[in-house]
Structure 1
Amino acid sequence: MKKTVLAFAVAAAVGVPAAAAADTTLYGRFNISLDFVDDANETSHQLASNSSRLGVRGSEDLGVMGLRGVYQIEAALQSGGSTQAFGGSDLTARNTYVGLASDELGELRLGKHDTPYKMSTLRLNFFADTLGDMNHMSSRWAAVNAGTDSTFYRRLDNTMLYMSPNFDGLQFMASYTTDRSDDTPSNPALDPTVSTSDKDQPAWSLAATFEQGPMFVTVAYEQQNNTAYDFAAFGQPNEIENAKAWKVGGTYQIEDLTLAALYENLDTGTDYLGDRDSFHIGAKYQLGQAYVMGSYTNAGDLDVDDTGAQMFALGAGYALSPRTGVYTVYAHTSNDDNAIYGLAGSGKSKGVGPTNSAGGLAPGENVSGFQVGVTHNF
């Protein structure tokens, strides 16, 4: 009831007719933590907002073929690129779209959205939006000068997403992004060996999931076209190539214990960097209102030697109520000599990477952190 009243208030503030706001819901989540981190250069403590959000979503029965009009506006309440806990808040930084939905036909969304590749393995990520988030190492490569699009953990603007109905536990997702950067007519490239200003940078992503009883499995594929790589500093020719990724994973529940496993291959498309494999395993055990969890992630070498890394994480939490909880996490990343993985690159705000005394990246150095946090959903 309170959400409906608040939703009407928001609708009134922006001049939306009451009838149009009848199926509108206001929702949100806070995830605030105190982090103690070591970036290989110095230790520090910081307050961070981790994927905190405020959203409005709704639907309207169109009265034709069972179709509904759907929409969502989801704001990010976090630092972004700012040094302040909420300094980077943005009204449409998260999934924001309009579309059509049907129980029989599925749902089409147009706007900004997580890719199917990203969404397919969210359930495997027990440490989501914390220092131990598996996507600090999965879904990305982190080596010296590894290219402009170094991650497949993406929320892309200019995106069309389709989600199928659920066929007895089986579901499909597909998306197409018209351009990952400049979605306007292209301009001539200043340097055609590096610049992509004269090229569209589309992406497409596919995923399938299947759930039955205690088992959940998923497979996903994504391609990011015209990724630019500047290798001049390494005496190698520059390249503009299509980067590709695929993965398979799942979870299995045995009473109060949930196990997760993931295998992934990322291909830069370049002769110099080549591709790399990774795997992730995790476990979470529920103890009434409390839980404990752990995970291990291993990223193999690219074709360049010593670009692999390992990360492990331990955590625990307690549900104070159905909507409010507290948690603590410790995570550590160990880099090979040419790797620069850190505790950054996911929904975890104010992430840190290996840093030298001049403030630059420090290949081969290790990163660790400990945090305590509180979450509240509404």
Structure 2
Amino acid sequence: MKKTVLAFAVAAAVGVPAAAAADTTLYGRLNVSLDFVDDGVDSSHQLASNSSRLGVRGSEDLGIAGLKGVYQMEAGFDAAQGGGGLATRNTYLGLAGGFGELRLGRHDTPYKTATLPLNFFADTLGDKHHMASRWAAVGAGTDSTFYQRPDNTIVYMSPDLDGLRFMASYTTDRDNDTPSAVANDQNSFSLAATFTQGPMFVTVAYEQQNDVDYAFSGVNEVEDAKAWKVGGTYQIQDLTLAAMYENLDTGTNLWGDRDVFHIGAKYQLGQAYVMGSYTNAGELDVDDTDAQMFALGAGYDFTRRTSMYAVYARTNNEDAGMYGLAGSGKGKGVEPGAIGENVAGFQLGVTHNF
């Protein structure tokens, strides 16, 4: 940052065009809430930081065929109790031009980002990813498989083609292995397309993770896991509607696959808004592994940067379900206190973007 500021100062002093210097932006988001939660066995209240972040991003004109070098380093931190790590969120170097953008580093998968516009309760107790893109059942091994921000990832994003965009990523190694005969066995690829026209947004995405290491009650299994989904939003004046269908395939004969269905609505009332959603996680190939989640919320935007919100969410598990209000960007999410227990929570929060 200091070097960039110095570069601009030198450029101005000697008359070098500003476009020749790097363009760097410091940005961030603070999101803190007071949560009252019940895991079905006990209840508590707590202060939580929800995906608070600090980042630096920028670009530099390379002077060749309209190409730019692009970069970003983003850190997640806990605004409620301190702590965090450098480059824990999307951090990359890349190249941008008429062909689109290529990024190398740690990055959200296209499968994850494709349906973010449908997630009205992002980073709250009602986040749809507490059920979508994951499975949570007794003995089901690996969890949250398709809500990923993997290391070692190559990402391509196409330019806007009259409202149509394509995204693709390849993760060379999910476990950061050093070079060996099996270094790339646990690789992944992710694909997504989005289309925006007027009030309509639609998306479709697919992801495959190779050699997922499961553990089922002492029995280890290594299989390829797959997922695909389709969804979209439609805006009718101040009302936005959202819907998504998703299929997750564990790749195993024991657990098989399951479906997810999500619907949501958000209504803007000037600076205020209200919203609600319903998410259904269907059964795996084992009985009573399904669950349902309900969420209601409201908020008020004091300015374009500062807002307050309130959210109530509840997860109802079947006898072998283990879904809670956790697994997304929600800080201090709550899991069920015992197998099949229901989970509920209410939060009051404030956000500030800069």
Band of TM-score, shorter chain: over 0.9
1:23 aligned onto 2:48: no
Residue equivalent to 2:305: 323
1:366 aligned onto 2:342: yes
Match of 2:209 among 224, 231, 236: 224
Match of 1:293 among 275, 292, 296: 275
Query: Which SS does the other structure have where 2:151 is aligned?
Result: strand
Query: Which SS does the other structure have where 1:117 is aligned?
Result: helix
What are the equivalent positions in structure 2 for 1:15-94 lying under 5 Å apart?
22-78=22-78, 85-87=81-83, 89-94=84-89
Question: Would the alpha carbon gap of residues 182 and 8 (structure 1) be closer, same or farther in structure 2, given more than 3 Å must change?
Answer: closer
Query: Which SS does the other structure have where 1:155 is aligned?
Result: coil
Query: Which SS does the other structure have where 1:114 is aligned?
Result: coil
Match of 2:314 among 327, 332, 348: 332
Question: C-alpha distance in 1, partners of 2:184/2:247?
Answer: 26
1:210 aligned onto 2:204: no
Structure 1 runs (4+) greater than 2 angstroms displaced? 7-12, 15-22, 84-87, 147-151, 197-200
What is the root-mean-square deviation of aligned Cα atoms in Å? 2.0
Question: C-alpha distance in 1, partners of 2:33/2:245?
Answer: 30
Question: C-alpha distance in 2, partners of 1:9/1:134?
Answer: 41
Question: C-alpha distance in 1, partners of 2:10/2:102?
Answer: 25
Question: C-alpha distance in 2, partners of 1:113/1:18?
Answer: 33
Residue equivalent to 2:16: none
Question: Would the alpha carbon gap of residues 198 and 26 (structure 1) be closer, same or farther in structure 2, given more than 3 Å must change?
Answer: closer
- Is residue 152–residue 176 contact of structure 2 (8 Å, CA) maintained in 1? no
1:95 aligned onto 2:80: no
TM-score by length of 1: 0.88
- Is residue 143–residue 340 contact of structure 1 (8 Å, CA) maintained in 2? yes
Amino acid at match of 2:305: R
What are the equivalent positions in structure 2 for 1:223-302 lying under 5 Å apart?
223-233=208-218, 237-302=219-284
Question: Would the alpha carbon gap of residues 114 and 256 (structure 1) be closer, same or farther in structure 2, given more than 3 Å must change?
Answer: same
- Is residue 35–residue 46 contact of structure 1 (8 Å, CA) maintained in 2? yes
**Residue 26 of structure 1: CA displacement?**
0.4
- Is residue 147–residue 227 contact of structure 1 (8 Å, CA) maintained in 2? no
**Residue 91 of structure 1: CA displacement?**
1.1
- Is residue 101–residue 108 contact of structure 1 (8 Å, CA) maintained in 2? yes
**Residue 289 of structure 1: CA displacement?**
0.2
Question: Would the alpha carbon gap of residues 265 and 17 (structure 1) be closer, same or farther in structure 2, given more than 3 Å must change?
Answer: farther
TM-score by length of 2: 0.93
Amino acid at match of 2:326: A
- Note the residue ranges of structure 1 that are not aligned, 5 or more in a row: 1-6, 188-196, 356-361
**Residue 41 of structure 1: CA displacement?**
1.8
Residue equivalent to 2:120: 126
Question: C-alpha distance in 2, partners of 1:16/1:42?
Answer: 57
CA deviation digits over 1:259-284, x for unaligned, max 9? 00000000000000000001000000
Question: C-alpha distance in 2, partners of 1:250/1:49?
Answer: 29
Question: C-alpha distance in 1, partners of 2:346/2:21?
Answer: 43
Question: C-alpha distance in 1, partners of 2:116/2:301?
Answer: 20
- Is residue 74–residue 91 contact of structure 2 (8 Å, CA) maintained in 1? yes
In the alignment of these two chains, the number of paired residues is 346
Percent of pairs with identical residues: 72
- Note the residue ranges of structure 2 that are not aligned, 5 or more in a row: 12-19
CA deviation digits over 1:49-104, x for unaligned, max 9? 1011100001000011110000000010128xxxx6333x11111000000001x2
Amino acid at match of 1:217: V
